[in-house]
Amino acid sequence: MFVNFIGLSAGLMVVLAFYARRQDIMRLFALGSNVLFIAYGCLEALYPIVLLHVILMALNVTRLTEDEDSVDDLTDDGQITALMHAEYRAAMNGIRYRIR
């Protein structure tokens, strides 16, 4: 019964990852689903599932850290303006940014 709960929770985390509007939130839900699917796969001896989610977890961690650093890297090099930086931050927070 407990193993089924872990599997259902992992599936719910996948649904929440698809529902998330912000990419950083999506990655966090995806990481949660990876952890739960790894636990489920280990408990049920489903090793292809474990391998898949270990790989996906590494990818999600990498992308999550890249997402946080990408805007700062661009602004340090002067490739985008402060206005574009503000627009990007607003978009990441789900806010429409208007130029008046």
Q: Which amino acid appears at position 64 of this protein?
A: L
Q: What is the mean pLDDT of residues 25-42?
A: 95
Distance CA(42)–CA(45), nearest Å, equals 5
pLDDT of 97 over the 90 cut: no
The CA R_g of the chain, rounded to the nearest whole Å, is 18
Is pTM beyond 0.85? Reply is no
DSSP-assigned letters across all residues of 10-66 = HHHHHHHHHH-SSHHHHHHHHHHHHHHHHHHHHHTT-HHHHHHHHHHHHHHHHHHHH
In this predicted model, what pLDDT tens digit does every residue of 46-95 receive, in sequence order? Answer: 999 999 999 999 999 999 888 666 555 555 545 555 556 666 667 667 66
